[in-house]
Structure 1
């Protein structure tokens, strides 16, 4: 009689344990639970990305300070941009290049034109 009671109790305990385990798993697989877990993972990934960006930013500031020390640049005074340089493509005194000459050159045929034979 003691054996039957033991096995009955063991079976009931196993049934309760299995039922609770299955119910927990089913609750984890509901759409609301999946959405909540996904949102938590996205927030966690966002925090990690923010920490990474802050690490990059601090590393850039540290490297800039090192370069400024090596180059002897003091960060306290404002820096000005250099004056604009004016580049001259053609010497206007020696060669008179007008718009009419430019258009005339565009419309002349050259011997290397591939489409002249066709």
Structure 2
């Protein structure tokens, strides 16, 4: 009698366990779940890519500092270094830029001979 009760209980427990596992797998294979898993994998890949880019940037800064020391350059290496200011050009008034003046148009026309450059 106890053997039958034991095997009945063991079978019922195995059935409940198997049903639970099958239901979990079915939930994992729904389209919504697959989309969420893909999104999570994409976010993880993005984080790994960002970490890689930061490592590469740190290596670049370190190598630039090493090369600066080896070459005797005094420029500070790092992201705090500012880029040189772009050159500023004076704005020229096209009417007074020394071009040929015309009475027909308020602004002079510019003739370009492409053979002059050769």
**TM-score past 0.5 threshold:** yes
**Runs of at least 5 residues in structure 1 that lack an aligned partner in the other structure:** 81-98, 100-118
For 1:7, the equivalent position in structure 2 comes to 7
- Cα displacement string for residues 51-105 of structure 1 (whole angstroms, at most 9, x for unaligned residues): 00111111011111111111111115x998xxxxxxxxxxxxxxxxxx6xxxxxx
Higher relative contact order (CA 8 A, sep 6+): 2
1:46 paired to 2:74: no
For 2:64, the equivalent position in structure 1 comes to 64
1:20 paired to 2:20: yes
4+ aligned runs moved over 2 Å, structure 1: none
Larger-gyration structure (1/2): 1
**Runs of at least 5 residues in structure 2 that lack an aligned partner in the other structure:** 77-81, 85-114
Alpha-carbon distance between aligned partners in 2 of 1:59 and 1:79, rounded to the nearest angstrom: 20
Alpha-carbon distance between aligned partners in 2 of 1:26 and 1:37, rounded to the nearest angstrom: 14
Q: Secondary structure at the match of 1:70?
A: helix
TM-score by length of 2: 0.62
User: Higher helix proportion, which one?
Assistant: 1
